[in-house]
Structure 1
């Protein structure tokens, strides 16, 4: 087999990202690879999946770097040969972040972690094994597979399926899965789909790539660019940022209105560029507690109830100065509160511009755009789970290692935000930009699989850690199997590569070890220092104001 280069493949993947009318300004499209330098060539991709996930993340980090360099030149008037640097191996670890990070040396799955974080699992979808196991692929009566999801409250789906919302006697994975599987095998995939749609909860039949592309929605998504951009108005002035900096996004104010993974990844990455970020959450709303450890770097966090007059008053005062809004809630949630993009547009009336970034499972267009969804649902509906299962030699879908779609959409959201800011800095106006988990998966699948000899070599190297996985292997089992295998094969990547690791010794959680920023644009990015603000729990800061 000819030698394989992750760097050369990454460059090809990066060029493919410009297809389907990627909405970037000509300077970004024309200069492309001139503004980014890749390193960290690996003889084999690190992520144990037949799809080009390793190269996709390296390429997206490259695209992020290209736009960051363009923004640097726009802001600081630089004439020198400035480039972004991206280590491809570092980028490949990006979607494995939560499996590698620790607090005081304790990993996410250690029972001791519960003592170090604020519990926001209000509906026990993570702490209760039975409720957690609703999020899994299950066989159906007609010989198909369906991916159920507990979302942040498993009760509606349990009740709709005729199952008790709680079953304290089922406190082991297999026992909990067995009672749910007994019910799904009494129903066809279409019957479960109709039930889940009727209650507006997340779930999806497991489709092959061919079945997805045969649907009207699949055809629509495959025709769209990696992110959408819509100009909302063109009368507000050009965004002017001080040439004193010191960072690329110094002075840019970002409201983070997100939960769980993809949305918080967007703002975490913007924080690497020195933006002033406020993450707004509510103690009345559930979230996944642990992810705050990684995703609240670069942010201050406040608690607001946007359904109360007091909370709305504070929130609207913050809106008066905002530059970027990142919305990761269910489609239409903020429009119902009168804080959607059209509402913000009316509020500003062209006096000042803004960027509204919408992250969702299905995206902003197509006939499925109003559906709720999660990473696992995006994997099932797009064909990723089936592609993974078949590559493992099985006739069943298997979840991919790590929340690839979450991190992929999160990275696309950061790129989309940087791109929209580039438009504001050069043309003025306000912009709506959107990304979706399904679109990242659609693009990943479009890149094709690794050559058979390469995949065979990868599969042999990863061995039983990966071969033992099945359709009912849940999120944690799949991720842990992948990270254990990667660490066995490449221990130096985390333990001996200090540039890949960022340590914050004094945080409200304790001493946090997480992944350092991947893209480096020295000295105009905060990469050498990590983030201006250390991580903290949700609602930690008492003062709801910009820095």
Structure 2
């Protein structure tokens, strides 16, 4: 069967979200762009185009001019590495990994990957292994474990570990089967409400929409960043006691204001309820059940604010035995067969292959744009159909979708572009972290070009209130 073109993948996403008519988007350029056997450029082009075309459709329905989203596959693929293409005050500012994070061989020959960027996850892994915090000590301790056994023990301890599987092993696993049974993007009506008219025409396509962004790391923040690029009022909500990966904020915080609330206290919950009662979108990406446990489950929000769009990210999806398991892009790549498949495609013996990672956090970034597209599709549908809506995406489901796009050959020799080669794709300006040079948004609209009106700032820099207040 022929592999879908980027255009065909885009149209399938559009129709799957319940949107009718032709997709107002043009895709240009060719793949591959990055050294991978997976079609990362095709995936990037499709998801960025879907989100940008939905922005164009909202603006048109508000009375703006009809316009087509213009997406270049190379630019979109590079935006899947946006956290890599950063400079602060002229110095490189890549996201740093913890010293013991990464892949290790276990005593049975199977590899496991540890995600220890959050201090409590690092401490928990070392406690489980009973060793010092060096790569040598961790490697020695893991040789006393079988890979699947350590993965399970870590999950039971609330830690972030994945054993490497082949794609065939993942397909046979109950969680792999649960993920395969669901579409990558799920949009569900969860409550009754009259149609919510789109706001009157404004200068920017999403101006007038309010988005609460309770996310961290990459995928969820990319969704909020995308909506902010087209004018949405995005308020990022964090808490001082929660760990965060601050290295990513100069990239993913562009266009947002940032407030701090402690949901362990009634005052914090009351403030969030007040904000949610006036929000169009409630975006959250914490472990399944964590935000709901504070009284902000989708059904609670739909009762509080009929017509709200709840947008939710998880690692492995809401169904299956791993439905509540913690995870990150690198772990899902490992567990669901991407690391093994890449190694084999690069020439490794399937029985002895060491993990080979994708050249970017493709599951994170693709999920972020799918979340943004699903959110916008739900806003369009609530204007026509009414109702409150739940939009769900999982990293594992996005991985399954990426697999369905097919593979490419001969791409491993491609270099990963250096920042000095990006030229006009970069922008420069002030930020709360220093002078920022970063990648522009790849979802272009000719009549209303995207831009971030606000610079990224440290967590909690603003009051917990909407900009228009």
**How far did residue 195 of structure 1 move?**
1.2
After superposition, the C-alpha distances for 1:238-279 in whole angstroms (9 at most, x for unaligned) are 222333312221111100101111111110001012111111
Q: Among residues 230, 249, 253, which one is paired with 1:292 in the alignment?
A: 249
After superposition, the C-alpha distances for 1:210-229 in whole angstroms (9 at most, x for unaligned) are 11111222122123212111
Question: Corresponding residue for 2:446?
Answer: 522
Question: Corresponding residue for 1:474?
Answer: none
Distance 1:543 1:459 in 2: 47
Call closer, same or farther: CA 1:16–1:341 in 2, change over 3 Å: closer
Question: Corresponding residue for 2:356?
Answer: 398
Q: Among residues 436, 443, 461, which one is paired with 1:512 in the alignment?
A: 436
Q: Among residues 407, 418, 424, which one is paired with 1:487 in the alignment?
A: 418
Question: Corresponding residue for 2:153?
Answer: 195
Question: Corresponding residue for 1:475?
Answer: none
Question: Corresponding residue for 1:53?
Answer: 40
Distance 1:9 1:210 in 2: 25
Q: Among residues 7, 15, 23, which one is paired with 1:11 in the alignment?
A: 7
Give runs of aligned pairs for residues 134-145 of structure 1, distance below 5 A: 134-145=100-111
Q: 1:262, 1:407 within 8 Å by CA — same for their partners in 2?
A: yes
Question: Corresponding residue for 2:311?
Answer: 357
Deviates more, 1:238-247 or 1:51-60: 238-247
**How far did residue 24 of structure 1 move?**
2.0
Q: 1:390, 1:396 within 8 Å by CA — same for their partners in 2?
A: no
After superposition, the C-alpha distances for 1:488-523 in whole angstroms (9 at most, x for unaligned) are 9xx64x12xx2x22222x322222111112112232
Q: Secondary structure at the residue paired with 2:7?
A: helix
Question: Does structure 1 residue 253 correspond to structure 2 residue 215?
Answer: no
Q: 2:59, 2:206 within 8 Å by CA — same for their partners in 1?
A: no
Question: Corresponding residue for 1:63?
Answer: 50
Q: Secondary structure at the residue paired with 1:14?
A: helix
Question: Does structure 1 residue 162 correspond to structure 2 residue 130?
Answer: yes
Call closer, same or farther: CA 1:133–1:507 in 2, change over 3 Å: closer
How many matched pairs?
Answer: 460
**How far did residue 375 of structure 1 move?**
0.9
Q: Secondary structure at the residue paired with 2:433?
A: coil
After superposition, the C-alpha distances for 1:139-186 in whole angstroms (9 at most, x for unaligned) are 11111111222152211121112224xx4xxxxxxxx32221111111
Distance 2:250 2:146 in 1: 40
Question: Corresponding residue for 1:468?
Answer: none
Distance 1:355 1:461 in 2: 41
**How far did residue 398 of structure 1 move?**
1.4
Q: 2:87, 2:438 within 8 Å by CA — same for their partners in 1?
A: yes
Report the RMSD for the aligned CA atoms in angstroms: 2.1
Q: 1:324, 1:354 within 8 Å by CA — same for their partners in 2?
A: yes
Question: Corresponding residue for 2:162?
Answer: 204
Q: 1:241, 1:251 within 8 Å by CA — same for their partners in 2?
A: no
Question: Corresponding residue for 2:412?
Answer: 459
Question: Corresponding residue for 2:366?
Answer: 408
Give the helix-richer structure, 1 or 2: 1
**How far did residue 95 of structure 1 move?**
1.3
Q: 2:224, 2:234 within 8 Å by CA — same for their partners in 1?
A: yes
After superposition, the C-alpha distances for 1:97-128 in whole angstroms (9 at most, x for unaligned) are 11111111111149xxxxxxxxxxxxxxx68x
Computing the radius of gyration from Cα coordinates, the structure with the larger value is 1
Call closer, same or farther: CA 1:38–1:161 in 2, change over 3 Å: same
Structure 2's unaligned 5+ residue stretches are: none
Distance 2:310 2:405 in 1: 29
Question: Corresponding residue for 1:37?
Answer: 26
Question: Corresponding residue for 1:222?
Answer: 180
TM-score normalised by length of structure 1: 0.80
Question: Corresponding residue for 1:92?
Answer: 77
Q: Secondary structure at the residue paired with 2:291?
A: helix
Question: Does structure 1 residue 535 correspond to structure 2 residue 460?
Answer: no
Distance 2:49 2:161 in 1: 33
Question: Corresponding residue for 1:320?
Answer: 277
Give runs of aligned pairs for residues 83-162 of structure 1, distance below 5 A: 83-109=68-94, 132-150=98-116, 152=118, 153=120, 154-162=122-130
Which structure has more relative contact order (CA 8 Å, sep 6+)? It is 2
Q: Secondary structure at the residue paired with 1:31?
A: coil
Question: Corresponding residue for 1:503?
Answer: 428
Question: Does structure 1 residue 186 correspond to structure 2 residue 182?
Answer: no
After superposition, the C-alpha distances for 1:186-236 in whole angstroms (9 at most, x for unaligned) are 1111221231122122211111111111122212212321211111112x2
Call closer, same or farther: CA 1:13–1:232 in 2, change over 3 Å: closer
Distance 1:346 1:16 in 2: 32
Question: Does structure 1 residue 424 correspond to structure 2 residue 413?
Answer: no
After superposition, the C-alpha distances for 1:439-495 in whole angstroms (9 at most, x for unaligned) are 1111112222114xxx1xx33454xxxxxxxxxxxxxxxxxxxx4xx239xx64x12
**How far did residue 134 of structure 1 move?**
3.3
Question: Does structure 1 residue 344 correspond to structure 2 residue 301?
Answer: yes
Question: Does structure 1 residue 334 correspond to structure 2 residue 291?
Answer: yes
Distance 2:204 2:382 in 1: 17
TM-score normalised by length of structure 2: 0.93
Q: Among residues 24, 42, 48, which one is paired with 2:18 in the alignment?
A: 24
